[in-house]
Structure 1
Amino acid sequence: MTRKTFNTPIFVLAALCAAAPAFALESDSRQPIQIEADQGSLDQANQVTTFSGNVIIKQGSINIRAGSVKVSRNDKGQQFMTASGSPVKFSQTLDGNKGTVHGQANKVDYTSASSVVTLTGNAKVMRGGDVAQGSVITYNTKTEVYTILGSKASGGKASSTKSGRVSVVIQPSSTSGRKK
């Protein structure tokens, strides 16, 4: 199989940017989207694009790797994206020298109408030393609210944590220059 590179307008993928927090590099959205995969198909009439086989998507500092990615758009212009893999991995540089956010899950869904990204199955998001993991992580890109469910709450089997509970590690804030 040969690897193809695509650059198509149907990928107005705020969907891909959405997997990272709202403080992601502002310039990313103005960069071209580059997609590589073993196979790709575009159904213009139904507004569905599908890529499969070692999918690599880049836009500025955004980097997504998945087994398959399907993007569709309805007649109202709303976009839906599903990426699956073992796992889907993504990263994006944040504005203001705040580092890079990394994440992974077995499946990542995004709906433009609700601005919600859902990471399902061994979901994990890391920024610096901060880590959030659980069975399902939901992130609203408008409100910047995260919800993390353990496998018991989401009705699944234990995954990323042995007990099936959520796990969050938050590093202490820098307190340099602060008097006691």
Structure 2
Amino acid sequence: MRSRFIPLFLAAALALPLGAALAQGTNVAFGGLKADTRLPVEVTAENLTVNQTDGTAIFSGDVLVKQGEMRMQAGEVRVEYDATGKAISRLLATGGVLVVNATDAAEAAAADYTIATGEVIMTGGVLMTQGQAAIKGERLVINLKTGTGRMEGGVTTTFTPGGD
């Protein structure tokens, strides 16, 4: 499933103008990645391994996580539960991660999503696209509750100046 999105991101990145602004850290509005973190989390995958001892579950093979309009795809997602063992507290995604919602999308090597705070930390070759704009860096911190974020580590931004 994830492979369908890669050509879309590459095409969007290549279609952008060559002029790029460089920065060490950039705050960005991520309105399209804003999400209601109170909604149920649904996970589908090819395989599931549950560890009752440490209270975790590992989904692997074409993993798709849905929460409202937000979608996260990855090769593997480790689910950690809260102290009661009844609610998901954290998702750790690896194996090429893609987060999509509305007009925004982000791709990285790994992601750490803390449900209670709505914070997603993506690391490793992060590419964020918003419409025709793209931003690259090594670490992206998104707050899904507020729709804000910060890109860090060798940030490169490519954008098309507004028209009329």
TM-score over 0.5 (shorter chain): yes
Equivalent-residue separation in structure 1 for 2:142 and 2:41 (angstroms): 25
User: In the alignment, which residue of structure 1 is the partner of 2:135?
Assistant: 132
What's the CA shift for 1:128?
0.4
The 5 A counterparts of 1:71-110 are: 71-75=79-83, 79-85=89-95, 87-93=96-102, 100-110=103-113
What's the CA shift for 1:48?
1.7
Aligned partner of 2:48: which letter? G
Aligned pair partner of 1:116 in 104, 115, 119: 119
TM-score normalised to structure 1 length: 0.59
RMSD: 3.1
What's the CA shift for 1:115?
2.9
Aligned pair partner of 1:54 in 38, 62, 72: 62
User: In the alignment, which residue of structure 2 is the partner of 1:172?
Assistant: 161
Equivalent-residue separation in structure 2 for 1:31 and 1:111 (angstroms): 14
Instruction: Decide whether the 8 Å contact of 2:32 with 2:101 is kept in 1.
Output: no
Instruction: Decide whether the 8 Å contact of 1:78 with 1:113 is kept in 2.
Output: no
Deviations 1:7-55 (A, max 9, x none): xxxxxxxxxxxxxx45558799768725122x20234564322111232
Instruction: Decide whether the 8 Å contact of 1:28 with 1:62 is kept in 2.
Output: no
Instruction: Decide whether the 8 Å contact of 2:45 with 2:61 is kept in 1.
Output: no
Q: How many residues align?
A: 133
TM-score normalised to structure 2 length: 0.64
Equivalent-residue separation in structure 2 for 1:28 and 1:116 (angstroms): 10
Deviates most, 26-35 or 48-57: 26-35
Instruction: Decide whether the 8 Å contact of 2:34 with 2:143 is kept in 1.
Output: no
What's the CA shift for 1:123?
0.6
Kindly indicate whether structure 1 or structure 2 has the higher relative contact order, using CA contacts under 8 Å at least 6 residues apart: 2
Gaps of 5+ in 1: 1-20, 94-99, 151-164, 176-180
Higher strand share: 2
Kindly tell me: are residues 34 and 71 of structure 1, through their superposed partners in 2, closer, same or farther at Cα, counting changes over 3 Å? closer
What's the CA shift for 1:167?
0.7
SS at match of 1:66: strand
* Larger CA Rg, structure 1 vs 2: 1
